[in-house]
Structure 1
Amino acid sequence: MVSGATRRSGEESAAGGGERFGVATRQRGGTVVLSLSGELDHDTAEPLREAIAQQVRAGARRILVDCGDLHFCDSTGLNVLLQGRLAAQETDGRVELAALRPPVARMFEITGAHAVFQVYAGVDEALADERSD
């Protein structure tokens, strides 16, 4: 569990109520889903960095980052995701993205980062993609 996290309804969360950014972790079959909420930036990126590192250390083969409740992502957040992707690849795992909101999707498009991630329209679509498990 991420340092400072609390356990709620079978999920691990790196942020409590009222915080600017949160990460909730859940397992869905062979996929670890990290659900992000709020604003991912220089000041809030550490819980995501820790959550991805923890899953990579645990041997997760597929980490799906649910961005449906992520309202903002700056270059620091983007770098955390890119670094997590590289770390996962070193252990034959992968990091994929789902449900990018327009402002977040724009950051990925402008930087070209969308080309290095498998990106799904939504979490359900990603989980239904059998070839990814």
Structure 2
Amino acid sequence: MQIVPRQQRGALVLAVSGDLDIDNVAPLGAALSTAARDGSGPVVVELSEVNFADSTTVNVLLQGQTALGPRLRLAAPSPFMERLIGLLGLDSALPVFPTVAEAVDPSLPS
């Protein structure tokens, strides 16, 4: 698992790649906690390169939502993540956008 942070139009984008599980998801939780303490803009978790995620990952994302509220946005889910989000109904708790650009600026046309 790897996280590459970048700034994009006032938002912190965390590009996550690889497999996310109990053994390696802690850095994502730490990045979300840091973003909650240090920033005020949107925090976008880009999921296009995530091949696998377990329940620990879901927990980390929900804890991030608790800390960040509507600032936390998921973007560009991989086919695996899209299926996981749909099966768990995560999209009812977290906003999910088809692209990073739309997550950064939801007023953009789809």
Give TM-score, length-normalised by structure 1.
0.75
Which consecutive segments of 4 or more residues in structure 1 shift more than 2 A? Answer: 124-131
Q: Are 1:117 and 2:83 counterparts?
A: no
Check conservation: 1:61, 1:88, Cα contact below 8 A. no
- AA partner of residue 97 (structure 1): L
Q: How does 1:42-121 map to 2 (within 5 A)?
A: 42-89=22-69, 94-121=71-98
Identity of aligned residues (%): 35
Q: Higher helix fraction: Structure 1 or Structure 2?
A: 2
Return 5+ residue gaps in structure 2 as ranges: none
Return 5+ residue gaps in structure 1 as ranges: 1-20
Give CA deviations for 1:2-58 in whole Å, capped at 9, x if unaligned: xxxxxxxxxxxxxxxxxxx01111111221100000011101111101111111110
Larger RCO of the pair (alpha carbons < 8 Å, separation 6+): 2
The structural deviation recorded for 1:128 is 4.0
Partner of 1:88, secondary structure, is helix
For 2:14 and 2:20, the matched residues in 1 are separated by: 13
- AA partner of residue 60 (structure 1): S
